């Protein structure tokens, strides 16, 4: 009995010191640079360059083998765990390459908060908008880091307005820039009441700052010119009036995004971001299952799989499944229950991710990510626990953007083709839709690169030869209705355009936007959904 109490006290402490988050941005805004600098400030790596070298080069779009290789390398950096000021930080990497956006969406289901990097020259870009939509759906708390202040960027007020308008979230400046580009002097941290001085090409991690609690004090003029001081005082006056005080609850509910200004490549503004992040970012939270809410503090282990990384080498079929721990303590060599398969599995090879290294672990806590070696039993979205039937929700598939029909080129290898397709879909490489009528199979992805990946892997790993033909499709919409009769009527009248997804759910395959709208108008009792969970 005593042991259980001791254990749960430990669990409480471990949960309280965990922060699990992801960094998202439009490619080139500085995600990799910021990741690296956070690891440097956190003491997890000793020199710059390590993360950079494993970054997927978005310019190498034509050479997907190269990209896959880089993705292979990036397994090591998929999850970077490190301790900073007594807090265990788990930073989940999200692929910047837009063809792998679905991977990013899924990774966002495993984090408790995100840091969003925005380039001050380019402002809010398209990929950022899409990623923000996913955060909004889940009410994920967001902190913005406006990067590249050493460049002549846009006016900070315009940037804040743009974030509010395009990302549909209120903002709250935590620091304020003094000048920009060539005249960039630094920032005043409203959070820590410090004046931080910028020096270009700074290589050290030493901060250069003075504490100034009251910026109306004439002391300010000792450090910046009279006109800069006046401008700063006016700005701070204005932003205090407009944005008021930050209510941490609003941030935690995903309604307000605290905003920092900095320059990641110059080590500027990164430590402030990290220090504030560990103060305010959420600890692991409860999660919904189809039966009940599960709390991290529960003594029974539970978790879900949000990512599967395949080994590209056909001689070693094993894959790594990434599990986000949601409750209890994960223990290596324990038997855990896969709810979907209603079967127990023993995982003797669990791996934790510490910055650049993988290491075998014996215990892991809510918020942590462990890697499990798997020979093909696990699937994205699977729940593992100690025997309860509850399945975690909130790991949806999104309607793909590009569709192609799979054509089998070798009738002798039909079985292999089907097996290969199912396994690749389990890994989340793409989505498969099987038409109700005939045996047509359509694969949907967010990027064209995946078709090459699938074709190559089907051939090399399963011996199946295939071709992907263009099809005229706009969206795959999941649908349902309260009215069984109307649902049947709809399915009967549109049977040529109805397919099933990997879980057997009905999907309406809409050919054009206009046609989809017309169908929606003609069948008002049918609800159409753009994600698989509704």
Mapped onto helix, strand or coil, the DSSP state of residue 368 is: coil
Contacts with 532 (C-beta within 8 Å, 6 or more apart), sequence order:
396, 397, 398, 478, 501, 503, 505
Task: Note whether 32 binds ligand G4P by CB under 6 A.
Answer: yes
Least gap, CB of 206 to ligand G4P (angstroms):
18
Q: How far apart are CA 90 and CA 99, in angstroms?
A: 24
Total number of residues binding ligand G4P (CB under 6 A)?
Answer: 17
CB of 187 to ligand G4P, least distance (A): 13
Q: Report if residue 28 touches ligand G4P, rule: CB under 6 A.
A: yes
Nearer to ligand G4P, 31 or 172 (CB): 31
Q: Is residue 125 a contact residue for ligand G4P (CB under 6 A)? A: no
Instruction: Please check whether residue 419 is in contact with residue 432, taking contact to mean a CB–CB distance below 8 angstroms.
Output: no
Residues 33-52, one symbol each (x = binds ligand G4P by CB under 6 A, - = not), give: x-------------------
Nearer CB in complex with ligand G4P: 25/109: 25
Contact region for ligand G4P (CB under 6 A) — 144-152, 182-190, 270-278, 518-526?
A: 144-152
Q: How many C-beta neighbours within 10 Å does residue 338 have? A: 17
Give the binding range for ligand G4P (CB under 6 A) out of 31-39, 122-130, 184-192, 506-514: 31-39
Q: Supply the angle between the helices 414-426 and 449-462 in degrees, to the nearest 10.
A: 130
Of 135 and 442, nearer to ligand G4P (C-beta) is: 135
Closest approach, Cβ 391 to ligand G4P, in A, equals 34
Q: Counting contacts by CB under 6 A, is residue 27 touching ligand G4P? A: yes
- Residue among 116 and 510 whose Cβ is closer to ligand G4P: 116
Rounded Cα distance between 258 and 93, Å, is 21
Two tokens, residue 321: 């499944």
Min separation Cβ 51 and ligand G4P, Å? 9
3-state class (DSSP) for residue 45:
coil
Pick the binder of ligand G4P from 151, 358, 393, 419 (CB under 6 A): 151
Question: To the nearest whole angstrom, how small is the minimum distance from the Cβ of residue 173 to ligand G4P?
Answer: 18
Of 42 and 96, nearer to ligand G4P (C-beta) is 96
Q: Nearer to ligand G4P by C-beta: 182 or 315?
A: 182
Task: State the angle between helix axes of 126-138 and 156-167 in degrees (0 to 180), rounded to the nearest 10.
Answer: 60
The CB-of-269 to ligand G4P minimum distance in angstroms stands at 9
Piece in contact with ligand G4P (CB under 6 A), picked from 26-34, 380-388, 433-441, 506-514 = 26-34
Contact 346, 319 (CB under 8 A): no
User: Judged by CB under 6 A, which stretch of 24-32, 122-130, 162-170, 244-252 contacts ligand G4P?
Assistant: 24-32
Instruction: Give the number of other Cβ atoms within 10 Å of residue 88's Cβ.
Output: 17
Q: In the bound complex, what is the minimum distance in angstroms from residue 29's beta carbon to ligand G4P? A: 5
Site for ligand G4P in 245-274 (CB under 6 A): 263-266
With b for 16 or more beta-carbon neighbours within 10 A and e for fewer, the 503-528 pattern comes to: eebbbbbbeeeeebeebbeebeebeb
Interface residue with ligand G4P among 14, 19, 30, 444 (CB under 6 A) is 30
Helix 449-462 × helix 64-73 angle, to 10°: 80
Q: Residue 67 and residue 448: Cα distance in Å, rounded?
A: 13
Query: DSSP characters for 470-533?
Result: E----EEEEEE-S-HHHHHHHHHHTGGGEEE-TTS-EEEEES-HHHHHHHHHH-TTSEEESBS-
148 binding ligand G4P? (CB under 6 A) = yes
Cβ nearer to ligand G4P, comparing 66 with 293: 66
Provide φ and ψ at 31, rounded to 5°. Answer: -60, -45
In whole angstroms, how close is the CB of 96 to ligand G4P at the nearest point?
5
CA 79/CA 140 separation, integer angstroms: 19
Which CB, 170 or 202, lies closer to ligand G4P? Answer: 202
Q: How far is the CB of 117 from ligand G4P (least distance, A)?
A: 6
**Residue 128 is a binding residue for ligand G4P (CB under 6 A):** no
Output 54 or 302, the one with its CB closest to ligand G4P: 54
Place of tokens 């020979």: 375
What sign results for the dihedral spanned by CA atoms 460, 462, 468, 473?
negative
383 binds ligand G4P (CB under 6 A): no
Q: CB-wise, 105 or 261, nearer to ligand G4P?
A: 261
Minimum distance from CB of 31 to ligand G4P (Å)? 3
Interface residues for ligand G4P in 77-106 (CB under 6 A)? 96
> What residues are paired with 302 via a beta bridge?
327, 385
Query: What is the closest distance, in whole angstroms, from the C-beta atom of residue 152 to ligand G4P in the complex?
Result: 10
Tokens of 398: 């999104």
| Largest interatomic CA distance in the chain | 84
Residue 510 near residue 459 (C-beta atoms within 8 A): no
Q: What does 307-343 look like in DSSP terms, one character per residue?
A: EEEE-S-TT---EEEEEEEEES-EETT-EEEETTTTE
- CA separation, residue 341 to residues 121, 374, 383 (Å): 50, 14, 10
Residues lying near ligand G4P in the complex (CB under 6 A) are found at 25, 27-33, 96, 147-148, 150-151, 263-266
């Amino acid at each position: 009995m005593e042991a259980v109490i001791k254990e749960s006290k430990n669990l409480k402490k471990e949960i309280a010191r965990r922060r699990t988050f992801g960094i998202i941005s439009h490619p080139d805004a500085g995600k990799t640079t910021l990741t690296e600098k956070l690891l440097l400030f956190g003491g997890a790596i000793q020199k710059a360059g390590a993360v950079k070298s494993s970054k997927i080069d978005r310019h190498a779009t034509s050479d997907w083998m190269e990209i896959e290789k880089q993705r292979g390398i990036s397994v090591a950096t998929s999850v970077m765990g490190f301790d900073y000021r007594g807090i265990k930080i788990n930073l989940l990497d999200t692929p910047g390459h837009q063809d792998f956006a679905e991977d990013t969406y899924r990774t966002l289901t495993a984090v408790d908060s995100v840091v969003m990097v925005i380039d001050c020259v380019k402002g809010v870009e398209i990929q950022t908008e899409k990623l923000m939509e996913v955060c909004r759906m889940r009410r994920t708390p967001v902190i913005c880091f406006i990067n590249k202040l050493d460049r002549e960027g846009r006016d900070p007020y315009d940037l804040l307005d743009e974030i509010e308008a395009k990302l549909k979230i209120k903002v709250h400046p935590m620091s304020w820039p003094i000048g920009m580009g060539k005249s960039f002097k630094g920032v005043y941290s409203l959070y820590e009441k410090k004046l931080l001085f910028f020096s270009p090409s700074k290589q050290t991690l030493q901060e250069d700052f003075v504490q100034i609690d009251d910026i109306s004090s004439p002391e300010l003029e000792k450090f910046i010119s009279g006109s800069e001081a006046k401008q700063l005082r006016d700005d701070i006056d204005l932003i205090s009036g407009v944005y008021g005080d930050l209510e941490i609850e609003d941030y935690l509910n995903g309604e307000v995004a605290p905003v920092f200004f900095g320059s990641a490549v110059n080590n500027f503004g990164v430590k402030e971001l990290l220090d504030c992040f560990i103060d305010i970012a959420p600890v692991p939270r409860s999660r919904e299952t189809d039966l009940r809410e599960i709390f991290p503090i529960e003594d029974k282990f539970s978790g879900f799989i949000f990512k599967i990384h395949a080994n590209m080498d056909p001689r070693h079929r094993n894959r790594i499944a990434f599990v986000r721990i949601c409750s209890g303590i994960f223990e290596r060599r324990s038997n855990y229950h896969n709810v979907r398969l209603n079967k127990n599995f023993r995982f003797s090879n669990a791996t934790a991710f510490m910055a650049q290294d993988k290491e075998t672990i014996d215990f892991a806590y809510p918020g942590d990510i462990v890697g499990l070696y798997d020979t093909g039993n696990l699937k994205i979205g699977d729940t593992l626990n100690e025997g309860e039937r509850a399945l975690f929700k909130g790991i949806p598939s999104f309607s793909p953007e590009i569709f192609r029909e799979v054509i089998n080129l070798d009738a002798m290898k039909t079985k292999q083709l089907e097996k290969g397709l199912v396994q690749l879909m389990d890994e989340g490489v793409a989505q498969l839709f099987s038409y109700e009528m005939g045996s047509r199979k359509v694969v949907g992805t967010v990027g064209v690169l995946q078709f090459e990946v699938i074709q190559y892997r089907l051939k090399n790993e399963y011996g199946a030869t295939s071709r992907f033909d263009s099809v005229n499709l706009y969206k795959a919409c999941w649908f349902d209705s309260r009215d069984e009769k109307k649902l049947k009527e709809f399915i009967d009248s549109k049977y040529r355009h109805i397919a099933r997804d990997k879980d057997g759910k009905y999907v309406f395959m809409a050919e054009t936007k206009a046609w989809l709208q017309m169908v929606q108008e003609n069948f008002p009792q049918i609800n159409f959904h753009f994600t698989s969970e509704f």
